Amino acid sequence: MGGSRRNDNDRRRVAGIIENPDVVVAEAERRRCIESVKAYNLQLKAWHEAEPCPSMGVACIAGFGWMEVYCGGCRQVASIDLAALNVHPLTKVVNIAARLRCERCRGNGPTAKILELKATPPETVADRYRRRWQAANGGESA
């Protein structure tokens, strides 16, 4: 008289999806944002310029909270923490880079050029030294 075990599991799964539609929509939006930022990074690597550019909100939802920029005046690469900037979530990342000025060039250098949006912060000198030491010593910790 009762339904099969398979149907009960299906009902529970569907009921869970229906009860948590916000979770399903948020996960789908996050996946879409990640794909958008990854496509933007690929375009930057291939053509050094990319359009359309993701907004701050899309980059933050995707988990890409760091932007690597290049100053053509002094040839310096810097990493910018997007979470530390006070800008509207709909602001395009290109517009943020256009407002950046190089400290080394004292603000007189060319406009900063975006190299990549990253999910992880830049590697510190101590981390780089530790990684190289571990590689040279067979993975032993310092």
In-domain check, residue 5? no
59 is a domain residue: yes
Residue 123: its pLDDT value, please?
79
Q: Encode pLDDT of 45-100 as tens digits.
A: 888 777 888 999 999 999 999 999 998 888 888 888 988 889 999 999 999 888 88
In a domain, 16, yes or no: no
Residue 130 belongs to some domain of the structure: yes
Query: Looking at this protein, which amino acid is placed at residue 81?
Result: D
Residues 6+ apart with CB under 8 A from 79: 66, 67, 68, 69, 118, 121, 122
Would 38 be classed as within a structural domain? yes
Residue 13 lies inside a defined structural domain of this protein: no
Q: Is residue 1 part of a domain?
A: no
Residue 99: per-residue pLDDT: 87
Q: Of 46, 100, 48, which Cα lies nearest the Cα of 73? A: 100
**Within the chain, what is the greatest distance between any pair of CA atoms?**
81
Q: Which two tokens stand for residue 60?
A: 């933050």
- Give how many domains the chain has, as a whole number: 1
Mean pLDDT, rounded, for 25-41: 89
Predicted pLDDT at 38: 93
Give pLDDT tens digits for 106-136: 878 888 889 999 998 887 778 888 888 888 8
Specify the pairing of strand 113-118 against strand 66-71: antiparallel
Q: Which residue range(s) make up the domain with 132?
A: 21-137
In a domain, 80, yes or no: yes
